[in-house]
């Protein structure tokens, strides 16, 4: 297990990615949070109550792999989700959690398949996301979700939180951000196509493109 070796570079990358997600409307207000795993095993996260559009490098928080605060401002109240993904996935060095509009909208729909909330409408979704488990509703910051999130993350690098939004892990922050954007675009397509007959990828086509297990 390794991570980002240069903390200064890691801080700049988090802030740059946060600005990009915010300015392109993938998060709003003070919603959403990002993290990176550093080479020493600690986690660098956006702080609680911060906007991804305005957070600075100096405002980032650092915790251990169990979410215990080490230094900096208080971390996001959803630190436990990030920590759960890192413990479950030794290959993960970044986690992105957003309240992106279309993915959040899908998370509010009735009748979703809890094993896979979105169909594989495009090849890029199958490649970057694969299957998307729906985790049952918990209030933001409710640590009762932590054990379920950790168990699910062992076999899936992306999940959708009911009535909330997506959480995606990646080997790098760039890969995690790409995957969560692909998830958002597929959620948008899914909503646009509701009421129309669709032709998702077949199980065989999706399986051929699925992300490799860690």
Query: Which residues of the chain register pLDDT less than 70?
Result: 1, 213-214
| Total-model pTM | 0.95
Helix, strand, or coil here: 192? helix
| Tokens matching residue 136 | 């049952």
Compute the distance between CA of residue 17 and CA of residue 94 in angstroms, rounded to an integer: 11
Task: Give me the CATH topology for the region 7-209.
Answer: L-fuculose-1-phosphate Aldolase (3.40.225)
Residue 90's Cβ-side half-sphere holds a number of Cα atoms within 13 Å equal to 3
Residue 124 known to be catalytic: yes
Any idea what the Cα angle at residue 86 is, between residues 84 and 88, rounded to 5°? 70
The interaxial angle of helices 7-23 and 173-192, nearest 10 deg, is 20
In the set 4, 7, 78, 181, the catalytic residue is: 78
How do 69-71 and 158-161 pair as beta strands?
unpaired
In the set 7, 57, 86, 124, the catalytic residue is: 124
Q: Quick check: 134 and 113 in contact, CB under 8 A? A: yes
- The number of beta carbons lying within 10 Å of the beta carbon of residue 162 is 16
Q: What pLDDT does residue 51 have?
A: 97
| Tokens matching residue 173 | 């922050």
Compute the distance between CA of residue 134 and CA of residue 114 in angstroms, rounded to an integer: 5
Strand order in the sheet with 165-170: 69-71, 61-63, 43-45, 33-37, 94-97, 165-170, 158-161, 134-135
Residue 86 known to be catalytic: no
Compute the distance between CA of residue 81 and CA of residue 169 in angstroms, rounded to an integer: 11
Compute the distance between CA of residue 80 and CA of residue 68 in angstroms, rounded to an integer: 9
Our measurement of the distance from residue 89's CA atom to the centroid of its chain's CA atoms, rounded to an integer in Å, reads: 13
Residue spans of the domains in the chain: they are: 7-209
| Tokens matching residue 32 | 């959403």
Q: What pLDDT does residue 213 have?
A: 67
């Amino acid at each position: 297990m390794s991570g980002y070796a240069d903390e200064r570079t890691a801080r700049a990358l988090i802030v740059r990615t946060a600005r990009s997600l915010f300015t392109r409307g993938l998060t709003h207000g003070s919603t959403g949070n990002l993290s990176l795993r550093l080479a020493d095993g600690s986690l660098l996260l956006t702080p609680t109550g911060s906007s991804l559009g305005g957070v600075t490098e100096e405002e980032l928080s650092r915790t251990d792999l169990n979410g215990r605060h080490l230094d900096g401002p208080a971390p996001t109240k959803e630190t436990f989700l990030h920590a759960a993904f890192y413990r479950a996935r030794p290959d993960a060095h970044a986690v992105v959690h957003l309240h992106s509009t279309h993915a959040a909208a899908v998370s509010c729909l009735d009748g979703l398949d809890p094993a896979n909330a979105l169909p594989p409408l495009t090849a890029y979704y199958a490649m970057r996301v694969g299957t998307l488990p729906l985790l049952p509703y918990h209030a933001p910051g409710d640590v009762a979700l932590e054990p379920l999130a950790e168990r699910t993350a062992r076999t899936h690098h992306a999940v959708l939180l009911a009535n909330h939004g997506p959480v995606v892990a990646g080997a790098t922050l760039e890969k995690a951000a790409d995957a969560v954007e692909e998830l958002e675009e597929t959620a948008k397509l899914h909503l646009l196509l509701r009421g129309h007959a669709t032709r998702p990828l077949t199980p065989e086509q999706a399986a051929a493109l699925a992300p490799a297990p860690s």
